[in-house]
Structure 1
Amino acid sequence: MADQFFGITDTGKQRSNNEDTFIAQWAAKNDMIIACVIDGVGGYSGGEVAAALARESFLNRINKAASGDVIPMLIESFNLANERILKDKQQADERRNMACVATLAMVDIEKNQFYYAHVGDTRLYLLRDQSLVKITQDHSFVGYLEDSQRLTEEAAMAHPKRNEINKALGFESDLASKTDYIETGQSPFLPGDMLLLCSDGLTDMVNKQDITDILTASMPLKEKCKLLVNAANQNGGRDNITAVLVQNDKASSQHEATMPSSSSKSKGEEAISSKEPDEVPMNFKRKTSVAIPVLTILMIVFLGSTVWFYLQGQKPRVIVEQTKVDSLIKKQRNAQEVKLQQAIDQLKGHILLLDTSYKSPIVISEAINISKDSLLIKAKREMVLQSDSAYTGPIFILSAKAKSLQLDSVAFRDCQTAVASRNQTVGLKNVRFYNCKTAVQNYIEVPEKKYINGKIMPLTLKADSLPVKIN
């Protein structure tokens, strides 16, 4: 029972202060585990204060001797924290912009349940059967795109607006009247399950698969938390990094396949056993008649087919249930954009020629990710790339690995952003834009509170009525 929870926070590689904080402890009545991650917003003089006020408010309310349902208590905790932050903002002008985002969970291991409340872009994950499921939604523009499968995880991690949030404690007053502002929920927490609460300093730096690999490794929770922080720092450590793990360390139950019964199982408790059904005892005496062996074979076939059909019938139920929780059904990309993304990913050199095998326009429903060091995309004749009517992200997005993208003889139509870069080189030759809100969005990152020296050079773009001759 000792290795049930652990929390850690780290400043990261580029920040001089830590605006994150966390809770990982037993509640005062010692019947539930409190797990929480809080990420402050508002700079050195504000973010840390907002996070500290929220943490204190949560603990005071949860540890207050009172009975009642858990979810209302969590909502009240968030309301109290919001009021304290708003009040403090009015008393100190230098903290007028402070706020915080938070994910708070109460875990009842004895009853195999957890409850949570959430505002912002900190996250809550559930690890079950080696699969990591994102429970909370990110209250941000980029988070919405990722959760709705408009952006891949990699594109979301590199998106220039990934840190812009829509909700936080300290943004608005009277949260009690805004019933949909605080996200809440509860779920079974089965033996062997694990919860991860973390700040975006982890998830912006480490992808889901790498996090899963660390969480499923055989080691204490403390070591897993350290590895998560190390992985984020190795990938750049651009923000503060905080992770809290809670584990239901009771022995996992193994369920064999049984015939359906009238009683229904609770959500998440259905399991498919890989074990074969127990052998049916056959107490027949050996006789010379062929009837008994034939009947025996028929009974075995009947029992085997019954179990097989039952197991086949069970599988879709489990898949559907996991899909409801996971919300990870991939939106089917059309053949043209799949072909374009695969051509870029599999390209051996640095020049991709868009020939007549691509049908114009290429409709984009998810950002085309550029991860090559340098790439020239050139069309034999003008090739149009057009956003799907429901897609609002960029057509091309340059990952941290890319250094330059050159575009020759392509056109962009009906898009919010044609190219999103992270201060990388973007070259345009005979490129046209039709009804595009932003042609090239260039996001420049600098270390916080450091002296910055340099120069932002003016763009050298020239508009021509006729195309430049293509060599």
Structure 2
Amino acid sequence: MADQFYGLTDTGKERSNNEDAFIARQSPDGRFIIACVIDGVGGYKGGEVAAALAREAILQRLAQPSGEIIPMLLDSFNQANQSILAGKKEVKEHDSMACVATLALADTEKNQFYYVHVGDTRLYLLRDRSLVKITHDQSFVGFLEDSGRLDEKAAMAHPKRNEINKALGFEINLSGDTDYVETGQSPFLPGDMLLLCSDGLTDMVPAGEISDILNNNDGLKDKCHDLVAAANHNGGKDNITVALVKNAKQASSHEATRPVSGQKKTELKAANEPAITNVPLTAERGAAKVKGNIPVLIFALMALIFLCTTIWQYIQRQKATQPGATPAQTDTPVIKPANAQEAKLQATINGLKGNVLLLVDTAFKSPVKISRAIVIDKDSLFIKTKGNVQLLCDSGYTGAAISLTPKCKLVMLDSLAITGFKTGVVAYNTALLLKNMRFTNCGTTVQNRFTAQGKYTNGGVPANVFKVDSIPVTPHKQK
């Protein structure tokens, strides 16, 4: 497990105490790497106590991992929440204490990571030198930033940046509210790195600088110290905590087979084919010759049948177009079976236990041909794209690329390419947010439908729901 995880916390330059806590260790059974960053809130000492209580509760629950992973992580958050609520009752001065936290469990053997998150601590994934923000800040400013209404610089300087609306210690029972805690899982490939951090880092250091530090050649310990140093260099206005986890396995590679030259092909063919000997022209050989022509005769007969069928269908269509002609009944059109890529994408969405899905072009080879709409039937879903992932309309298909059901309350699509569809996305009741989407050769980009059966309806259609950037789309080059 050498250099696969490391954590570090620092008071910063303006605080006198540290209300942050972290976990960076291997699980007792050796199966997982546990990483967690906790940021206490609630005033002097109170936040520090809340963070310590949460850390202890999480470690106790994960001391003996059991059951499904996401429910286990949710249970650890619920136990932390209960521990903080109990502590608030014991000490009056701590009655406003709470904490925000992000917890990740990395299974490097199966190349997967799982996470739960509440508040404004963050989880990032570094893959192929690109840094992707996985979690969403559960605050008003975080929502504005994630939806593209604020850029990173404006969000970092916003006066309400640190006003959160969710935390451990705010709610009485988290086990009965699955929407309160953000959860998810994603591939954790060889070479990938997870960064968990408090807002003491992200309020001080922009994502580009964080990415540069993570991409240097230093070990995890040095990277952590460099991140903390960068935050302090830029002001160090809050406690700074970081935890890193790396999948240190080597990516498997296969040596490509060299093409065989023309001369070698001839030699290889000659070596593998039986020798041809002279056969006398006898009646037996003549019979063999007739037998060899049977496939040709069968092919000719099939071609004749196909030609006759085509002519008959043409005549029937001509009759159907005559005035007063009765339309001919046709069979139900044959629906093409879903190809492996689109079936995999639909199954991934249907089986997702959290509300964040990261699509990477290493898992979904672009383009993904779509012969039926990808259906989203979740209360909320955020689809992020890393690399060139393109949905391409299959030949003969005239429907939408993505269809949201009326059940959806909020769906965000980020950096996905949709090409060649009659309709890009079908949504209901304005449940859709788009960020850096690319639509090419689509008749209708977004079709929004409103449903309110049997109820009084008020309101109106806004003049502008989406806006189009002035920067033209640059097509991705296919590899």
TM-score scaled by length of structure 1: 0.58
Aligned with 1:243: secondary structure? strand
Rate the CA distance shift 1:314–1:85 in 2: closer, same or farther, 3 A: closer
Counterpart for residue 319 of structure 1: 388
What's the Cα RMSD here? 2.8
Deviations for 1:11-34, whole angstroms, at most 9, x for unmatched residues?
A: 001111100000001111121111
Rate the CA distance shift 1:326–1:243 in 2: closer, same or farther, 3 A: farther
1:279 aligned partner, one-letter code: P
Rate the CA distance shift 1:192–1:96 in 2: closer, same or farther, 3 A: same
Aligned with 2:104: secondary structure? strand
Counterpart CA distance in 2 for 1:238 and 1:319 is 38
Residue 281 of structure 1 and its aligned partner are, at CA, apart by 4.0
Question: Do 1:149 and 1:331's aligned partners in 2 also have CA atoms closer than 8 Å?
Answer: no
Rate the CA distance shift 1:82–1:255 in 2: closer, same or farther, 3 A: farther
Counterpart CA distance in 1 for 2:19 and 2:390 is 37
Counterpart for residue 32 of structure 1: 32
* Alignment partner of 2:435 out of 329, 334, 337: 329
Deviations for 1:58-82, whole angstroms, at most 9, x for unmatched residues?
A: 0000003x52111111000001111
Question: Do 2:413 and 2:435's aligned partners in 1 also have CA atoms closer than 8 Å?
Answer: no
Counterpart for residue 339 of structure 1: none
Counterpart for residue 44 of structure 1: 44
Residue 390 of structure 1 and its aligned partner are, at CA, apart by 7.1
Counterpart for residue 75 of structure 1: 74
Counterpart CA distance in 2 for 1:331 and 1:164 is 29
Counterpart for residue 151 of structure 1: 150
Question: Do 1:35 and 1:244's aligned partners in 2 also have CA atoms closer than 8 Å?
Answer: yes
Rate the CA distance shift 1:85–1:321 in 2: closer, same or farther, 3 A: farther
Question: Do 2:414 and 2:437's aligned partners in 1 also have CA atoms closer than 8 Å?
Answer: no
Counterpart for residue 222 of structure 1: 221
Counterpart CA distance in 2 for 1:199 and 1:100 is 11
Residue 320 of structure 1 and its aligned partner are, at CA, apart by 2.6
Residue 91 of structure 1 and its aligned partner are, at CA, apart by 1.6
1:15 aligned partner, one-letter code: R
Counterpart CA distance in 2 for 1:41 and 1:255 is 51
Deviations for 1:411-469, whole angstroms, at most 9, x for unmatched residues?
A: xxxxxxxxxxxxxxxxxxxxxxxxxxxxxxxxxxxxxxxxxxxxxxxxxxxxxxxxxxx
Matches within 5 A, 1:372-391: none
Question: Do 2:66 and 2:72's aligned partners in 1 also have CA atoms closer than 8 Å?
Answer: no
Residue 278 of structure 1 and its aligned partner are, at CA, apart by 4.1
Residue 176 of structure 1 and its aligned partner are, at CA, apart by 1.4
Counterpart CA distance in 2 for 1:203 and 1:253 is 34
Aligned with 2:186: secondary structure? strand
Deviations for 1:288-335, whole angstroms, at most 9, x for unmatched residues?
A: xxxxxxxxxxxxxxxxxxxxxxx9x94445523899677893489xxx
Residue 204 of structure 1 and its aligned partner are, at CA, apart by 0.5
Aligned with 2:169: secondary structure? coil
Matches within 5 A, 1:236-315: 236-254=235-253, 278-282=258-262, 283=264, 314-315=365-366
1:84 aligned partner, one-letter code: S
Matches within 5 A, 1:107-122: 107-122=106-121
Rate the CA distance shift 1:326–1:124 in 2: closer, same or farther, 3 A: farther
Question: Do 1:135 and 1:325's aligned partners in 2 also have CA atoms closer than 8 Å?
Answer: no
**1:160 to 2:154 alignment:** no
More deviation in 245-254 or 134-143? 245-254
Counterpart CA distance in 2 for 1:102 and 1:67 is 21
Counterpart for residue 439 of structure 1: none
1:329 aligned partner, one-letter code: K
2:28 aligned partner, one-letter code: A
Counterpart CA distance in 2 for 1:185 and 1:314 is 22
**1:175 to 2:281 alignment:** no
Question: Do 1:8 and 1:242's aligned partners in 2 also have CA atoms closer than 8 Å?
Answer: yes
Aligned with 1:236: secondary structure? coil
**1:141 to 2:247 alignment:** no
Deviations for 1:129-185, whole angstroms, at most 9, x for unmatched residues?
A: 001111111100010011111100111001110000010000111111211001111
1:184 aligned partner, one-letter code: T
Aligned with 1:171: secondary structure? coil
Counterpart CA distance in 2 for 1:6 and 1:325 is 31
Counterpart for residue 186 of structure 2: 187
Rate the CA distance shift 1:253–1:88 in 2: closer, same or farther, 3 A: same
Question: Do 1:133 and 1:325's aligned partners in 2 also have CA atoms closer than 8 Å?
Answer: no
Counterpart CA distance in 1 for 2:139 and 2:251 is 36
Residue 93 of structure 1 and its aligned partner are, at CA, apart by 1.1
Counterpart CA distance in 2 for 1:325 and 1:123 is 18
1:54 aligned partner, one-letter code: A
Q: Which runs of 5+ in 1 are unaligned?
A: 257-274, 287-310, 333-387, 392-471
Deviations for 1:210-236, whole angstroms, at most 9, x for unmatched residues?
A: 000000000110000000000000000
Counterpart CA distance in 2 for 1:53 and 1:326 is 39
Percent identity of equivalent pairs: 63
Counterpart CA distance in 1 for 2:235 and 2:157 is 12
More deviation in 45-54 or 24-33? 24-33
1:178 aligned partner, one-letter code: D
Rate the CA distance shift 1:94–1:330 in 2: closer, same or farther, 3 A: same
Rate the CA distance shift 1:325–1:218 in 2: closer, same or farther, 3 A: farther
Counterpart CA distance in 2 for 1:104 and 1:123 is 9
2:56 aligned partner, one-letter code: E
Question: Do 2:7 and 2:22's aligned partners in 1 also have CA atoms closer than 8 Å?
Answer: yes
Question: Do 2:53 and 2:80's aligned partners in 1 also have CA atoms closer than 8 Å?
Answer: yes
Counterpart CA distance in 1 for 2:12 and 2:76 is 29
Q: Which runs of 5+ in 2 are unaligned?
A: 268-361, 369-386, 392-411, 417-433, 439-462, 467-479
1:188 aligned partner, one-letter code: P
Question: Do 1:134 and 1:326's aligned partners in 2 also have CA atoms closer than 8 Å?
Answer: no
Counterpart for residue 53 of structure 2: 53
Aligned length: 292
Deviations for 1:184-212, whole angstroms, at most 9, x for unmatched residues?
A: 11111110000000000000000111000
Question: Do 2:37 and 2:102's aligned partners in 1 also have CA atoms closer than 8 Å?
Answer: yes
Rate the CA distance shift 1:130–1:30 in 2: closer, same or farther, 3 A: same
Residue 38 of structure 1 and its aligned partner are, at CA, apart by 0.2
Aligned with 1:83: secondary structure? helix
2:389 aligned partner, one-letter code: V
- Which structure has the larger Rg? 2
Question: Do 1:13 and 1:238's aligned partners in 2 also have CA atoms closer than 8 Å?
Answer: yes
Question: Do 2:415 and 2:436's aligned partners in 1 also have CA atoms closer than 8 Å?
Answer: no
Question: Do 1:24 and 1:244's aligned partners in 2 also have CA atoms closer than 8 Å?
Answer: yes
Rate the CA distance shift 1:254–1:152 in 2: closer, same or farther, 3 A: farther
